[in-house]
Amino acid sequence: MPSFISRIAVGLSLASSACAAGAPGHSSVARPAGPEPVDYTVAFPDLSAHSATITARFPTSGKPTVDLMMAVWSPGYYKVENYADRVHDVAARSPSGAPLNVVHDARNHWRISTGGAAGVMVSYRVTADQRSVTTDWVGDSLIVLNGAPTFMAISNDAHRPAIVHLELPRGWRSATSLDTVRDAPSDSYRAADYDDAVDSPIIAGDNLRIDSFVVGGSRHAVVDAGSIDGWDSARAARDIARFVAEDRRFWGTLPYDHYVFLNVFRRGGGGLEHRNSTLLTSSAAAYSTPAGYVRWLDFVSHEYFHAMNVKRLRPVELGPFDYEAGPKTPSLWISEGLTTYYGDLMVVRSGLAPDSAFLSAMSALIGQLQMPPGRLVQTLSASSLDAWNSENSGVGMDQANTVSYYTKGTVAGFLLDARIRRLTGDRRSLDDVMRAAYALYSGARGFTPEQFQAVASRIAGSDLSAWFHRVLDTVDELDYSEALAWYGLRFADASTDGARRWRLEIRSDATPAQRAHLAALFAP
Ligand SMILES: [Zn+2]
């Protein structure tokens, strides 16, 4: 049995630079008692074929058959993706090499006859030619592996740990938030359980660029991969460290030992949050203009804020996960909308963008909400519950009949914050609501809508249930007047119909008190 260490698992060079930056030294921990791990070896015999071969040893616990399954979705990405459809050539054998019977008895299930062996070896190949943040990519200079499309698991056995060995081309390095395995070949990692394996993407390449920093005793790595020519990695890591420090001030602590930003420059798009990492798809637009760079910081800040809001503080429905049937929740406006609101605010509060950048971004969102008619058809809660059935932002969205919980959720956060600040004379804000909710609902159990609303009412010192009902559960127009009056803002040109109609600007006759309220919103 190998033993394990808890150091950050992004290759030797990072581990040494993290130590040089003053991180705590490595500590050895014995392998915890508990179920015997599944042992996966992932190989890439032909990079240009865009596939990976997986060989795994599954303990059988002495049973005559083992039921293996592939997830159908990935937490954070509310789409059925049926990863089993990209699995091929499933075969099983005993430890002595004798072939074992495999029955593909459901779209994402395989039943293996064990012949009484203590463990069975199962091999399969996965197609890895997709560039989304939930799928796998294997190419000539880059590999992106996500847990759900890569790892078969024993059904109803979520607490079993996993060991993952990567057989990479010579000279390549890998990066992930998983712990490394001591006394094992390089690129060997340990997942505490299946959730951890699914929640910890792995990237590898021949040109990974790794910067690290420490905030509040927690180690962070920014790993750039893909088409990184022209990208200023050191500057990006410095700027990320600034909003991470701002997030730490906001929450009072950072709830992890280490965190990894996996920043992949490639075609495609999007980012996905994980407990101890995020997988980002970035493009040249991030460095072609100053505004593009601020948008990139907002994007990374959003994914990072999720480490606290949704990966820990979460709606009650979002965990523990059923990987064969995704959950529905009415609360994605909190998990996504408020994450966008604070993602942008953290960038401004840490001095990386001017106040005007926040007002511009909020203006754009208000325009996106107010111009199409979908807001008059679908409520915010219904939008969240409908996440599995419809696009919630972007080109595929049915703007005539649906509303985005990202867009309306962010705008609702802006209005709720203003309301709490006004009700309390700026002594309390939505920040306090988030911290209070975190203290109550970031553990084993998440919050119900009623519980989150009760926290907000308590902080506001006023019953907000009528406000929540109107904003979440009716299609009534949002009322901007309170926020505009509190901050001394107005819409630039109420006489026109286009986006300009919804452009927020500071009133020239704003009072000193109003200016102070706005300054308080942006203050660290
Ligand atoms: Zn998000």
pLDDT tens readout for residues 446-487 = 999 999 999 999 999 999 999 999 999 999 999 999 999 999
Average pLDDT taken over every residue of the chain: 92
Please tell me the distance between residue 33's alpha carbon and the centre of ligand 1 in angstroms: 35
DSSP class of residue 108 equals T
Domains and CATH numbers, the chain: 308-522 (1.10.390.10)
Q: What is the mean pLDDT of residues 424-445?
A: 97
Nearest to 277 by CA among 263, 289, 267, 288: 263
Q: How many angstroms separate the alpha carbon of residue 388 from the centre of ligand 1? A: 15
CA of 303 to the centre of ligand 1 (A): 6
CA 311 to centroid of ligand 1, rounded, Å:
11
Could you tell me the distance, in angstroms and rounded to a whole number, from the CA of residue 336 to the centre of ligand 1? Answer: 5
CA of 340 to the centre of ligand 1 (A): 7
**Rg of the chain's alpha carbons, rounded to an integer?**
24
Enumerate residues with CB within 5 Å of ligand 1 (an ion).
336
Work out the angle between the directed axes of helices 338-349 and 290-305 (0-180°, nearest 10): 120
* DSSP three-state, residue 431: helix
Query: Is this prediction's pTM over 0.85?
Result: yes
Checking if the pLDDT of 299 tops 70, the result is: yes
- Asked whether the predicted pLDDT for residue 285 surpasses 90, the reply is no
Instruction: State the distance from the centre of ligand 1 to the C-alpha of 91, rounded, in angstroms.
Output: 38
Task: Calculate how far, in angstroms, residue 77's C-alpha sits from the geometric centre of ligand 1.
Answer: 9
- For ligand 1, the distance from its centroid to the CA atom of residue 49, given in whole angstroms, is 32
Do 310 and 439 touch, CB atoms closer than 8 A? no
Work out the average pLDDT over 491-513. Answer: 89
Residue 362 predicted with pLDDT over 60: yes
Mean pLDDT of 417-421: 98
Centre of ligand 1 from the C-alpha of residue 2, in Å: 37
Using the predicted structure, report yes or no on whether residue 327 has a pLDDT greater than 90.
yes
| CA-based max dimension of the chain | 83
Region for residue 169 given its phi and psi (left: phi exceeds 0; alpha: psi -120 to 50; beta: otherwise): beta
Cα–ligand 1 centroid distance for 315 (angstroms): 14
φ, ψ for residue 29 (rounded to 5)?
A: -130, 140
406 CA distance to ligand 1 middle (Å): 8
Digit-coded pLDDT (tens) for 11-32:
333 333 333 222 233 333 455 5
Distance 210 CA to ligand 1 centre (A): 24
Distance from Cα 332 to the centre of ligand 1, integer Å: 9
